[in-house]
Chain A
């Protein structure tokens, strides 16, 4: 068994697993990232579009610093990072030990194709006879038993789905790479013991199994069997149940005690099936009912054999584990199937629709009916299928289905040029996230129809197969509407084998089977070294998943730090960092000698093009000193062949032509080190595109595609000729952080950073720390906030690494990452200067003010905060109240604050619950627009309705009216269900006014952060970099980021801390190889490049009067180089000279003259 050590094990390689792994890896930790699927990306692999941009943008997750340690490539296709080892088709089977020292047992599941050998040629797919529904396209198209799990993944090895494989062996025969191993030859080593008292049965079994090449021994009784088990290791025992001396079950028990790994299958007569089932509980794998024939027996034995073959477990020592296994979705076919899913062809789930809309989907992005392939003209979404439905044990909201439906409706409108009618049938439109409300408004503007009602069932027209929805309108009319297609917004369900995983990891599940995090700490589980990120605790959108993933990363890195106490963490990180100059050969004065290695890709090169033509073409260039063709460079063997060949070659630049060269980045670095050369003297060009994508008419003319390969090679050679080998200089990091704001967000962030050995300045405007937690009492779930606050404040007070500055403010921040210069004005009006490597903004927010609904005219009208102040403590008694009315969305989700404040609906429920508890006779009316009780807080909404709290919905066009005189408050509202106006005389009117951010203009200006339209912090990217500012090194958390609960605030604080630590954990940082530079002698100081830089990485230093680039902030886009009129701004790696050379190379092989004369003929 293999034994290795990694800092962290991340289980689940969806978006959240990727974020956690990258966060930890960037800090310098080693990460093992596993997924039970044969491809990465989780759900997002299937989704082409994400709200609110309606595009992807996943690549923005990639590290901004030390960029060359990872791939600079589309993250949806694959990820390559020096510190991350990815293991697919792999499950966590056992976890032992404690935080800082776990032993994880991983089981690699068989894919039957060796990924190190498979070249993805697809010949096997063509010969495979077995076709089944393709899970990647949600069953909307077919695939073969041997298939690519995700068509766009890289590296992309085929896998065999054994359930549908006929074992015909055709693929094994045709595979040019010998990658397919259906393991025929190893069957002899698989020892089977057959135990039966009847000789005839023993004999026939032996005969059948012998024919299949298995090794079989026989025993006539249990006692004999036990003897034989002691002599020889058996892998499988087939035993009868009814035997004279010793029953099969007894044998099973004894055998399993001594040989726990032995697989046992019971053979039973029909009468003893129940015993066999009992036996399975005792550890038998399966049973066979006698009499059986070889067609039953052999497939079972083969399956067991293959599973055993595959179960080559490996043990891994890890410090910490992060679970990011995500969720699955409700299956609408089970058990009631009210919507004819799977029966009516045009009823889809929302994920199926995503596949329909994808260019890689079954209809290549065309929205067509599945029965007749006609264009869809009318489409409806039904919300809350399998969510908010106690009949299917789902008293929860799935959080993001509303947004998914909005996105899909907008996409359908856009793709069909507005010609499709789209309708969303919903109960509450839950647009609670940042910028979601604006997206909802956009959908309305685009003409998406919204119908507020729950559809109980739907029917299909027998003739036309149109789908008929019946519903009752708000005015009570009975309506029928026909659609071409109906999309079911199916809700969340726990991830696969969550129960098993939770048992293995020792974490708790909530009643619905999702992981239950600890109160206030969304990444923490009951096991102190195991954390949870992403949707495993409930479905989340990308932004929230990424935040929770970084929070999990912070917790994990905390464990790693406390067990290793390396300060800084990056011993191995630096070793893997850029190659430092002294050791490498200086080739700057040597003549250019380029050696070319071309991968023949399983002899495809010879088939597609004329290698002679390519070779002679290359030899035309005197700087191309040698060429070599190697077969299958992508395999370990091919690579080794090349390495040994190259060692004898005298050249100073190497050009490698192979498929998907980004896969080789790490190998190339190792090779470069071995050959004592700078890695940038190696360049790989992609040939996959060229071999595979030859257009059919040109295919007849081999030499033509040869010239395309030649052009690509010459482009690569040009890159090598102009390559720079200047070492990347390390940038020293100021290992100290600034946290602005001393609420729960700021305090959590400060503690998180200081706990990993980095000093923190915590600046708070008020006299004391605590922020909004000073007046909040409890969460909706009933967790008391006081102890959390006290504990946090006392930890801050005792922490030697945290310097608290109360009654202080930030006067000025200059400089950039990783060295900001901060001026703090203290309570005594003194100015303190400090340097910081990163800044966290946590200035919070407060309850919004209002003057609507008669606020201020009566002391019976209060805001939620005022109610908390009066009744939250023990001071006041609500016994003298008879009626309470609460109005939600006061000034929220409409002007002046067109966003959802997210906390008011839960607060209203909490306060209603509290008031009712102390005064059971109280009448409570909650007047709301859409109840935003997303996730598991839905249960409190259900409970409130059961407790007879009255909910009355209103439209923003017809808000309730409030009349006050000396002693009474009168609320008038239209009750939509009854359709009558109500007048409620109330003793207390509570207004939910929402949250406003506190981000003073002076502060945002001096920090260089931007605000969104509502005054909140503007993220670098709403989805993929949710806590980062566009200006690197500045992060935000808490209410200044967006309205959120205490728990969600802590998630952002931990996420921001982890993002900051990815810089602060290192003594030094590096830019990437491709980065902007300035030739000062050519620079005319016109400053055009400064505003051109999207990352504000450029500035003019008045001291030396030069333009400077911050290497960490520059991301290498090259925008500066284009605007420079003098060629002073250059993009290293893409210099003008090189680009012009590459353009020349693109014309290689086809002279302009030839083409022109051809045309003249």
Chain B
């Protein structure tokens, strides 16, 4: 049986997590293929519809990752993201998406290793959860 290969869509902010991913790249630290990065200027600009769209397209997990609290390049965008994710955690189950499939992390620009580790952990978690509920409905 072929192993289930989850798709993880990661919305990463330009200043912190994207830079960390870049650092992981320049430091030759691997991060799993399952993770597809989408660069945004700030986690505060991640519209909930983007997250839902990603799930509906077939993502098994969606990650929003930005600067550490207090460290947002745009002052407070990450706090806005945090509130939005909390709301989405409440709403997603009502449309059949488990709340654990939406993750929020803070990964600073110098945390290249932490970025790679987090991505690896997420893949393990996503594999454990199995295919997202968004998939079969789209396929039928």
Q: Which 10 A-B pairs have the closest CB atoms?
A: A1118-B45, A1152-B58, A689-B25, A1117-B74, A695-B30, A55-B71, A1094-B75, A1159-B4, A1146-B36, A74-B19
Give Cα distance in the complex from A57 to B68, angstroms.
Answer: 10
| A1144 sits at the interface (CB 8 A) | yes
Is A814 on the interface with B (CB-CB < 8 A)? no
Query: Is there an interface contact between A1118 and B1, defined as CB atoms closer than 8 Å?
Result: no
What 1/0 mask marks residues of chain B from 49 to 60 whose CB sits below 8 Å from any chain A CB? Answer: 110011001100
Residue of B nearest to A701 (CB): B33
In the complex the two chains form, is A1116's CB within 8 Å of B110's CB? Answer: no
Indicate if the CB atoms of B22 and A688 lie closer than 8 Å: yes
Query: CA–CA, A1147 to B38, complex, Å?
Result: 11
Chain B hits for A698, CB < 8 A: 32-33
Chain A's closest residue to B16 (CB) is A74
| B26 touches which of A72, A152, A1116, A1150 (Cβ 8 Å) | A152
Contacts of A1153 in B (CB 8 A): 139
| Interchain CB contact (< 8 A) of B15 among A59, A151, A689 | A59
Note all chain B residues with C-beta closer than 8 A to A689: 21-22, 24-25, 37
B122 within 8 A of A: no
**B45 and A1134 contacting across the interface, CB-CB below 8 Å:** yes
Known: A56-B109, A1118-B40. A1156 touches B28 (CB 8 A): no
C-alpha gap A463/B14 in the complex (Å): 50
Inter-subunit contact B33/A708 (CB<8 Å): yes
**Complex interface: chain B residues within 8 A of A122 (CB):** 28
User: Apart from A56-B110, A365-B114, A1030-B75, what 14 extra A-B contacts exist at CB < 8 Å?
Assistant: A56-B71, A73-B14, A73-B19, A77-B22, A365-B113, A691-B25, A704-B33, A711-B36, A1117-B74, A1121-B45, A1122-B46, A1139-B38, A1152-B58, A1159-B131
Given the complex of chains A and B, what is the CA–CA distance between A360 and B22 in angstroms? 13
The proximity string for A residues 702-717 relative to B, scoring 1 for CB distances below 8 Å and 0 otherwise, is 0011011001000100
**Most chain B CB inside 10 Å of its own CB: which residue of A690, A1150, A1159:** A1159
The answer to whether A1094 and B74 touch across the interface, beta carbons within 8 angstroms, is: yes
* A358 CB–B CB distance under 8 Å: yes
Inter-subunit contact A1119/B74 (CB<8 Å): yes
Q: Say if the beta carbon of B93 comes within 8 Å of chain A.
A: no
A1077 and B47 CA atoms in complex are apart in Å by 17
CA distance A442 to B36 in the complex (A): 40
A–B pairs, 20, beta carbons within 8 Å: A55-B108, A56-B108, A59-B15, A74-B15, A76-B110, A152-B23, A694-B33, A695-B31, A708-B33, A1030-B75, A1117-B77, A1122-B45, A1144-B57, A1146-B9, A1146-B36, A1155-B4, A1155-B7, A1158-B4, A1159-B4, A1159-B131
Nearest neighbor of B60 in chain A, beta-carbon distance: A1155
CA distance A1115 to B23 in the complex (A): 24
Q: Within 8 Å CB of B46, what residues of A?
A: 1122
Q: Is B135 an interface residue, CB under 8 A from the partner?
A: yes
Report whether A1122 and B80 are in contact in the complex, using a CB–CB cutoff of 8 Å. Answer: yes
Complex Cα–Cα for A56 and B108 (A): 8
Minimum Cβ distance to chain A for residue B47 (Å): 5
B58 pairs with A359, CB closer than 8 A: no
A1143 and B110 contact, CB distance less than 8 A: no
The CA of A1161 and the CA of B3, in the complex, are separated in Å by 9
Nearest neighbor of B31 in chain A, beta-carbon distance: A693
Q: Which residues of A in the span 353-370 have a Cβ within 8 Å of any Cβ on B? A: 358-360, 364-365
Q: Which residue of A lies closest to B46 (CB)?
A: A1122
In the complex, A976→B138 CA distance in Å?
77
Closest to B76 in A: A1094
Nearest CB of chain A from residue B56's CB, rounded to whole Å: 10
Chain A contacts with B in 1070-1121, Cβ cutoff 8 A: 1074, 1092, 1094-1095, 1115-1119, 1121
Closest to B25 in A: A689
Q: Is A313 an interface residue (CB 8 A)?
A: no
Q: Is B95 an interface residue (CB 8 A)?
A: no
Report the interface size class on chain B.
Answer: 35 or more
CA distance A1150 to B36 in the complex (A): 11
Decide yes or no whether A373 CB sits under 8 A from chain B: no
Whether B14 pairs with A77 at a CB distance below 8 angstroms is no
Partner of A1136, one of B26, B42, B47, B136: B47
Across the interface, A1142 reaches (CB within 8 A) one of B38, B68, B111, B116, namely: B38
A140 within 8 A of B: no
> Any chain A CB within 8 A of the CB of B27?
yes
Task: Give the shortest distance, in Å, between B12 (CB) and chain A (any CB).
Answer: 11
Contacting pair B73 A60 (CB below 8 A): yes
Query: Given A72-B14, A689-B25 in contact, is the A1143-B40 Cβ separation under 8 Å?
Result: no
Decide if B77 touches A693 in the complex (CB within 8 Å): no
Complex-state Cα separation, A1094 to B78, whole angstroms = 12
Whole-angstrom distance between the Cβ of B29 and the nearest chain A Cβ: 6
* Interface pair B26/A156, CB less than 8 Å apart: yes
Is B41 touching A1131 in the complex (CB atoms < 8 A)? yes
Report whether B135 and A1152 are in contact in the complex, using a CB–CB cutoff of 8 Å: yes
Min CB gap B131→A, angstroms: 5
Interface residues of B in 84-119 (CB under 8 A from A): 84, 108-114, 116
CB <8 Å contact, A152 and B110? yes
Q: A253 at interface (Cβ–Cβ under 8 A)?
A: no
Report Cα–Cα, A843/B5, bound state, in Å: 63
A154 to B131 Cα, complex, angstroms:
38
Q: Is A270 an interface residue (CB 8 A)?
A: no
Contact present for B44 and A1146 (CB under 8 Å): no
Give B120 Cβ to nearest chain A Cβ, in Å: 8
Q: State in angstroms the CA–CA spacing of A689 and B12 once bound together.
A: 14
Cβ-neighbour of A1119 out of B45, B67, B114 (below 8 A): B45
> In angstroms, how far is the closest chain B Cβ from the Cβ of A583?
29
Partner of B57, one of A77, A1119, A1136, A1152: A1152
Distance in Å from the Cβ of A886 to the closest Cβ of chain B? 39
Task: Please report the C-alpha to C-alpha distance between residue A606 and residue B100 in the assembled complex, in whole angstroms.
Answer: 38
CB atoms of A688 and B44 under 8 A apart: no
In the bound complex, residues from chain A placing their C-beta under 8 Å from that of B130 are: 1159
A47: nearest chain-B partner, CB-CB: B110
Which residues of A, 463-492, contact B by the 8 Å Cβ criterion?
A: none
Q: Is A48 an interface residue (CB 8 A)?
A: yes
Q: A53 at interface (Cβ–Cβ under 8 A)?
A: yes
A1094 touching B22 by the CB < 8 A rule? no
CB of B124, distance to nearest CB on chain A (Å): 13
Q: How far is the CB of B77 from chain A (nearest CB, A)?
A: 5
Residue numbers in B under 8 Å from A48 (CB-CB): 108, 110
**A70-89 interface mask toward B, CB cutoff 8 Å, 1 = contact, 0 = none?**
00111011000000000000
